[in-house]
Structure 1
Amino acid sequence: MSKASKTDWKRLVEQGDDAIDTSDIPELGEDFFRHAELRVPAKQTVTIRLDADVLEWFKAQGSGYQTRINQLLRRYMEAHRKA
């Protein structure tokens, strides 16, 4: 038994960013960024069997082909998690 949303999505889509009330969200100051840490997800080395033409196509796109393959797999995973 799901409830219908009371959110006016059409109005939100059409409204500009300047119309958003951010008064209850404090600005991030110098102190925040001075102490902030970048956290990159850990990578794991794996062996994967790909069709030769698929691998060659990715490699032909230039350096970073493994990162691009990972990005595509992530998008696929996220799309199927939402389903």
Structure 2
Amino acid sequence: MDEEGIDYSDIPPLTEAFFENATLRIPASQAHQLVEIEPDVLNWFQSQGGEYKALINSILRHYIESHGEQPVA
């Protein structure tokens, strides 16, 4: 069946009220990796080209090591 043949008439529309009460659920296996990064900071890293996530990780690792510590595995 193609998409044109699917009957969506019994599905209520998604309203603003729906999204105000919605909860984001993230699998536990992924939740430990979440870090809130301000948009301007993220934009700067992304503008550096290449793998911006690896760059962020490298900078954080350097910060930890420059303070005489080793990351905990």
Alignment TM-score, normalising by the size of structure 1:
0.42
The normalised TM-score by structure 2 is 0.47
